[in-house]
A and B are shown apart, each in its own frame.
Chain A
Amino acid sequence: GNSVTQMEGPVTLSEEAFLTINCTYTATGYPSLFWYVQYPGEGLQLLLKATKADDKGSNKGFEATYRKETTSFHLEKGSVQVSDSAVYFCALSAQGGSEKLVFGKGTKLTVNP
């Protein structure tokens, strides 16, 4: 079946450090891939997405590239801020749209000043 595996946290970084959160997936066909972010006490917000191989999604300084050859969609940011502290979820939609999302377990990021 379809599944998403993301690196386990928690991840703790200092402000201005480089961030990578790994995400790999298993799916049939050509899924769409997503990163969602959940700030403390809030719902999930779409951070970025990519709908086909080699697409790069980007938003708020975060980037992720859809790599079909390695079935990966790693999240990166060059310089994190305290305000980036949150839980990050990788997800896929196997139908290519968003009829059903399959989520990873989430990675909690804490950024210290």
Chain B
Amino acid sequence: DAGITQSPRHKVTETGTPVTLRCHQTENHRYMYWYRQDPGHGLRLIHYSYGVKDTDKGEVSDGYSVSRSKTEDFLLTLESATSSQTSVYFCAIRAGLGGRDTQYFGPGTRLTVL
């Protein structure tokens, strides 16, 4: 358990509304990531952060923005949600548990955009 929580765990929203998902970690890890999981695609990286206020784009960043004002929190925002953003969203941290860097995942947020 890498001390990662995500909120909310489930959300239903309507097209065009803004949505913010939160990832919270308790162990001061520098790197944090947001992925989305869709059938037939595995997991795809949306954005990641390598420190407070330091973020970069991943493979599928269009339509998403992120912010990291504190080490422990990494927020993912959908400015205007679309049905194509219906997905399960996972947050991850990079940690050196077990002697080498590895990513550890949160429990996920299931987002439905109607």
Q: Which residues of A contact B (CB under 8 A)?
A: 32, 34, 36, 42-46, 49, 51, 89, 91, 97-101, 103-106
A44 and B43 contact, CB distance less than 8 A: yes
B31 and A99 contact, CB distance less than 8 A: yes
B104 and A46 contact, CB distance less than 8 A: yes
Question: Could you tell me the distance between the alpha carbons of A44 and B102 in the complex, rounded to whole angstroms?
Answer: 12
List the one stretch of B14-22, B75-83, B105-113 in contact with chain A: B105-113
A100 and B45 contact, CB distance less than 8 A: yes
Q: How far is the CB of A46 from chain B (nearest CB, A)?
A: 6
Q: Which residues of A contact B102 (CB under 8 A)?
A: 34, 46, 49, 98
Question: Could you tell me the distance between the alpha carbons of A97 and B90 in the complex, rounded to whole angstroms?
Answer: 20
A89-B42, A100-B48 known; A42+B94 contact, CB < 8 A? no
Q: How far is the CB of B3 from chain A (nearest CB, A)?
A: 13
Count how many chain B residues have C-beta atoms less than 8 Å from C-beta atoms of the other chain: 22
Question: Could you tell me the distance between the alpha carbons of A101 and B103 in the complex, rounded to whole angstroms?
Answer: 8
Besides A32-B100, A43-B106, A51-B100, 19 more A-B contacts (Cβ < 8 Å) are: A34-B102, A42-B107, A43-B90, A43-B105, A46-B102, A46-B103, A49-B102, A89-B43, A98-B94, A98-B102, A98-B103, A99-B50, A100-B48, A100-B58, A101-B33, A101-B43, A101-B45, A104-B42, A105-B40
Cross-chain pair count, CB within 8 angstroms? 50
Q: Which residues of A contact B31 (CB under 8 A)?
A: 98-99
Cβ-defined partner of A105 (8 Å) among B33, B42, B48, B100: B42
Q: How far is the CB of B89 from chain A (nearest CB, A)?
A: 11
Q: Which residues of B contact A99 (CB under 8 A)?
A: 31, 48, 50, 94
Question: Could you tell me the distance between the alpha carbons of A32 and B102 in the complex, rounded to whole angstroms?
Answer: 10
Question: Could you tell me the distance between the alpha carbons of A23 and B44 in the complex, rounded to whole angstroms?
Answer: 17
- Which A residue sits closest to B107, measured CB to CB? A43
B106 and A97 contact, CB distance less than 8 A: no
Question: Could you tell me the distance between the alpha carbons of A45 and B107 in the complex, rounded to whole angstroms?
Answer: 10
A97 and B43 contact, CB distance less than 8 A: no
A43 and B108 contact, CB distance less than 8 A: yes
Q: Which residues of B contact A98 (CB under 8 A)?
A: 31, 94, 101-103
